[in-house]
Structures are given as structure tokens and as C-alpha cells.
Amino acid sequence: MNKSRRKFLTNTSLSAVALASGCHKPGQTTPPPGYPPVTGATPALGPEITSGTIFEAEKLVQLQLSDNQRVQIAERWRTNDAPLYERRTGPRKVAIEPNISPASHWDPRQVAANLPPSPAITPAAATTGTPGIHNAVQSHTQTHPAQNHFIRTNTDPGPLPTTDREIAYAPVHQLSRWIESRALTSERLTNIYLDRLTRYDPQLRCVITLTRDLALAQARQADTEIAAGRYRGPLHGIPWGAKDLLDTANIPTTYGAEPFRNRIPTTDAVVVQRLHAAGSVLVAKLSMGALAMNDIWYGGQTMNPWLIEEGSSGSSAGPGSATAAGLVAFAIGSETEGSIVSPSMRCGVTGLRPTFGRVPRTGAMTLSWSMDKLGPMARSVEDTMLVLNAISGPDAGDTGSVPSTLNYDATAPIAGLKVGYFPQWMKEATEVDRAALDTVRKLGMVPTELSIPDWPYGSLGILLAAEAAAAFEDLTLSGGLDQLKVQTPDAWPNTFRSARFLSAVDYVQADRLRRKVAIEMARVFTQVDMLLVPSLRDEMLTITNFTGHPSLTLRAGFITVTGPRSDWAPDPSKSPLKFNPPRQVPHGVTLIARLFEEGTLAGAGLALEHAFGVANQTPHSF
């Protein structure tokens, strides 16, 4: 997503990245297992500064802020920004060897690939010449390579349920079989979801734009084609929802943010084009935290169907909530650093964050060019793979997208796969996480203890902060940030302004650290086939988003909570809500694989999903 679309982690400020990255330091408040990290819990680091310090620094970067903005930056600098310099200021300093180059790589061939072909180059020459010239004439809707190996399950979906609710909650792999056999029409299924979206959105606030007319037209077309024998595949006639950072032609795409609420694109994002080509039915543009942060947008806070008193998490707030409540068959979310994983875990859905570069982001909002990823959110593991198969493949409009193969075989054995885990993290995790590790063993996979260096992974946050601030520089300099609903110190407005004062030298050094971390992850994956980690364990969530590794988050059981969880810093003026008695909510675990090995994730995920036996449970109120 994201251009690197994400929810600036569960802690939404720059301090979030510091928190997210490394071990909790002495004096930090450690949240209970299964809860998001505590925003603002990082100890204050670095020298004291004042608004006068910021005023003087403005002269260096040629920026003018208001008195209130200077005060806000100064008050939070030591917790939000100073921790990002831990790589060189300590306590966990780390040396970077001279041969480690920055992770960002300048390739002039990419520039050639985005120039129009020279008039002197004929089409024949273009397709047989240099790679750069060849790329220049590639289709913007290029699909996945022909050498993909994709075998889905071939089980009988059973009889069509007798109630609309049961149909609505059925996974895509069942819905597709009923539609293919014409036991269910796309128009009926589409009307079921449109009715549920209309009925439940007032409680969940997960819909920004309902696309009723388009959806019914697409559904009727799908039924006509299928009746004529022109079945396009497992997504044909399946209704879905798009996080509202994917452009849709002549339909608002608002980024969940006040300055863009009247923005209407003229073309579809490439992922939207590919889902249209697969015959899918777009029923709604779903909510997202404003500019891909958390779960509050200009229409309010999107809520968790399992626990209506708490937000659904973000920034893929609407996709998580709508999928969990049976309002869409699947959704497309995005992640920069946690925006698929966190709402998937909280709302009890299955979220697949693909390898960086597998799914093109052309026509999607950019938060971070080097981190944003688009991926499916659904109600079963196989559903996410059916969607990924339709949207994978490079596009010339996204220089970060690359050719790749997708190898998935639902029948492949999983016995003997080595599953790495970190013993200390499991000690600090929930019983559900530890039970999942036992299930791995019972299924014949091999749990393998691992460790990683105690490096200052939070220092990587400089890269994300700088990219995000650059992506929305015009909004910052024009004062448009003032229109955003959330203006707290841990929200985007303060983050974008304070990022102007980050060091360029430290940015380059953080980029070199990123490559060093990627080399370390390559070493880890020489020992195991995948990792099993608690879903919000900050170190690995941060590391793998910066290194681009794929992850699969799936429901593994239920935990007890004594109050609503939040991605936002607590409001000191309000007493926290306490449940009496405590509530049961879904809890997910996360698998992480080598780059481009989503098929390995899905194979293990299918076996775990079956063994856990909780995927079919639904929230009672919806």
C-alpha cells in the first residue's frame, strides 16, 4: 500500500517508530500481550529544546511556523524525534561497515523505462532491444507472468446457505464455487452486501462512498457472462471494497482526509483495473485513517465489529471492519508499517501483506515510495491468495514494482517446514500465540529458536518520517494540514512539520542501516522457512516492513480484554473505559516468509487455519 501506505504503526507518531523498533527501555510502560504499543512511552532523550530552538532552526531549513506549532514540536521532540538518532547516540549504538551502501539504489534504466519510445525506435526494435527500451513499451496493465504455479483447493463448497447472513459471511473460495455453478447470482450477492453496508455503516463508520450503481451494473454483467459460459475465474462476480486511497475513475478517492474529500480521479488505479478485469464487483470505497494513520477519518472513527467500543485499528480501518462484519467478500488494504497487520489482528480477519514490489501501486496514494504495499484482507487464507493472484505483476507506472512468480499449491505438504520463533517474545505473548507454536509442532512443522541482534531498529523511522513528509510537503507548506480532524502531537500535522528538522546525514546512515538489517534477515532465512511472531511485536513488524518481507496474519483464537484498545495516545482528561465483565475478542498470529514466498505462507496458513478452527466464528451483532 502505501506508497508505502500504512498506519504510522500502532503508535502513530515518530516516537511510534522508535517504540516499534526496539526493545522496551527501562521506565517504559509495557502494554499487556495483544495490545498495541503505548504511544508516548519512550523516555525523553537528547538535550532540552524550546520553541526558540525551533524558531532558530527554521532559518536553516527556510521554513516559517506559527508559535503554537513551534511549541508542539518542542514539547514532543525528545520523545518523538530524538529517539530516531539512537543509532549514533545510544544506548544501542551500532557501527555500519564501510562496504554497506544505502538501501536506496539509483538505476538509470528505470528512468529510460518511463520515457516514451524514441520515434527512431520501431515497435520491433523496442521489443528486442535493451531492457530499458523494452520496459518503456510495457503495458500499464501487465499481468503476472505465465510461469506462475497456482493450485487452489478443490473441495465441494456444500449447499448454498438458507440465510443472507450466512451467505454474506461465506469466504470467497466458497462464494466463487456457488457463482461458477450458478447456484448463486452475482446480483443477489451484491444486493446482500449493499444492504448490509447500508444497514451497519452507521454503527461502524467504515464506508466513505457506496458505489451502488457501478456495483449492480458489474454484477449484472458478470451474471450475463457466466450464463453465456464466459467465466473469468474465482473472483468473477465477487463483491469487494477498496481502501479509499485507490483511485477509482469518476468516484471520489479521499484518502480519508478533509483536504481531499472532494477529490475525484479520472482513471482507475492499476489494482482496481486488474480486479475489474477479473470480473470483481466494487461495492464500496472503505474508510482509512486520514492520510494512512490509524482509524479516524473525517467521518469519525471506524469501529471494530467484535467490540463496538473500540476502533478497528488502522490505517486499513474500513477494510478490516467491513470484512469482519460480512459487508464485503474481501477488501484491498495497504501497509507501510502495520496498516494491514494491525486491523487484521484486531478485527479477526486474514491479512496478506505481499512482498514489496509484487503488487503495483500505480494510482494509489503515496505515503512512502520505498515501503508502501497493497494487499488483500479477507476471511480465509485461500481467499487472500485468490486475490493476490489477480493483482500481482509489475506495472510501468510504479518503478518499485518488479516481475515475480507466484507459486501456490494448496495440496503441497507442510511437514518438515522450519518455523522460526523468538523465545523471549513468546514468553511475553498471549496464550493464543504460545498455543499457535504448539500447533505448528503438532502439524509436523519444526519450531526453531532464533535470535536477532539488539540493534536500534527504531532509527529506521527517519526514512519513513522523511518520505511521508515529502509526500505531503505541499499540504504542509500550504497550511492544508490544519484541516485534519486530529491535531494531537502524535498525529500527522506535527509529524510532517517536525520532520523538516531531521538530519540528512542521519537519513543516509539510516538507509545504510536498512541494508545491514536486510542482510541480517537474509541470514535468518537461511536457517528457517518462515517466522511465527506475535502480530504486533514491534521489532519484527518494523524490520520486515523496511526489508519488504511478506506476512500473513490470521485469526488463531480469542483473548480477554478489560478495556478498549487504541492506536492513539490516551486522553489524560478522560478516564479509560473498563469492561465488567471483561470481553472476548479475536487474536491473530503472524507468519513471515522469505521475499516472494507468499505461497509458503499460505500453505502453512491453510493448515494452521484448519487446526485453529476459529475462522468461521462471526461477530454476533452484525
Catalytic residues: 243, 315, 339
CA separation for the pair 98, 94 (Å, rounded):
13
Cβ contact 514:103 at 8 Å:
yes
Q: For strand 373-378 and strand 350-353, is the pairing parallel, antiparallel, or unpaired?
A: antiparallel
Instruction: Give CA–CA dist 3/577, Å, rounded.
Output: 35
Burial, 106: exposed, middle or buried (Cβ in 10 Å; 0-12, 13-18, 19+)?
Answer: exposed
DSSP assignments along 220-234, one per residue:
HHHHHHHHTT----T
CA distances from 412 to 387, 408, 600 (A): 20, 8, 9
d(CA 30, CA 427): 14
**Residue 505 Cα distances to 56, 104, 116, 515, 615, angstroms:** 20, 14, 35, 16, 48
Buried b (16+ CB within 10 A) or exposed e, 296-315: bbbbebbbbbbbeebbbbbb
Query: For residue 268, what are the CA distances in angstroms to 245, 248, 272, 557?
Result: 11, 4, 6, 38
Q: Are 298 and 207 in contact (CB under 8 A)?
A: no
The span from the CA of 39 to the CA of 42, in Å, is 8
Q: What is the SS3 assignment for 236?
A: coil
Distances (CA, A) of 209 to 235, 241, 299: 22, 10, 11
Distance CA 597, CA 447 (A): 19
CB-based contact 334:359 (threshold 8 Å): no
Picking from 570, 481, 579, 464, the residue whose alpha carbon sits closest to that of residue 84 is 464
The string over 25-56, giving b where at least 16 C-beta atoms fall within 10 Å of a residue's C-beta and e elsewhere, is beeeeeeebbbbbbbbbbeebeeebebebbee
